[in-house]
């Protein structure tokens, strides 16, 4: 049965349902035909509520980025240094495992020159600022902050992508391997600071 009362917001909600149902490739595989099928309407009728698939994908991405920002903020509030970085990375991983399709959407960067991406640029900037605030807790100089942001993002994203794709098939505990990754990230970020000691790091039994 066709869904009554379709609206732009309703179409976006349907798109998110399709993305969630599709698992790790849900966002990449999102089509208007799939949304129309879920709504019980013909695909052309969706154009009354959304300009294009690109517009709809952008809406989904904004929602996912804001969700991830909220998760990261909640995980790191009141924490600093190594503890904050560990909690940030763990929150990212948990969100990715719980919502793999939405997580994939958060990896889409906004076009800096496209006016249509203005809302996404703002959402992405807020997300980056959470990470920047965490990394500044290591006492990084300004010219190393973006390097650290990219390194942390690449490390966690690479691990999560392999995990979601079934890339870790050996018997050894994956959670333990993630902890090792966090140890390496903490040490690597701390090495970029004038002082090489990871601030506030008691997770591995280090002494003052």
pLDDT, tens digit, 9 for 90 and up, residues 6-47 = 899 999 999 999 999 999 999 999 999 999 999 999 888 898
- CA nearest to 164, candidates 112, 119, 104, 121: 104
Length of the chain in terms of residues written: 208
Under-50 pLDDT residues of the chain: 1-2, 197-198, 202-208
The domain limits of the chain are: 58-191
In this prediction the pTM is 0.86
Residues ≥6 apart with Cβ < 8 Å to 22: 29, 30, 101
**CATH of segment(s) 58-191:** 1.10.357.10
pLDDT, tens digit, 9 for 90 and up, residues 113-125 = 999 999 999 999 9
Per-residue pLDDT at 203? 45
* Distance (Å) of CA 141 to CA 26, 50, 125, 135, 145: 39, 44, 20, 10, 7
């Amino acid at each position: 049965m066709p869904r009554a009362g379709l609206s732009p917001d309703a179409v976006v909600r349907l798109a998110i349902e399709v993305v969630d149902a599709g698992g790790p490739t849900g966002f990449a595989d999102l089509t208007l035909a799939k949304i129309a099928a879920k709504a019980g309407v013909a695909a052309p009728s969706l154009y009354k509520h959304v300009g294009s698939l690109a517009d709809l994908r952008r809406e989904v991405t904004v929602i996912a980025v804001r969700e991830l920002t909220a998760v990261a903020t909640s995980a790191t509030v009141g924490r600093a240094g190594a503890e904050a970085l560990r909690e940030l990375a763990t929150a990212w991983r948990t969100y990715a495992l719980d919502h793999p399709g939405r997580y994939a959407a958060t990896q889409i960067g906004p076009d800096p020159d496209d006016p249509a991406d203005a809302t996404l640029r703002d959402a992405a900037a807020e997300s980056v600022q959470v990470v920047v605030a965490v990394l500044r807790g290591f006492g990084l100089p300004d010219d190393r902050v973006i390097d650290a942001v990219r390194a942390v993002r690449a490390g966690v994203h690479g691990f999560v992508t392999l995990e979601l794709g079934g890339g870790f098939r050996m018997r050894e505990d994956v959670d333990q391997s993630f902890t090792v990754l966090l140890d390496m990230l903490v040490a690597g970020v701390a090495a970029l600071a004038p002082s090489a000691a990871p601030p506030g790091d008691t997770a591995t039994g280090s002494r003052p």
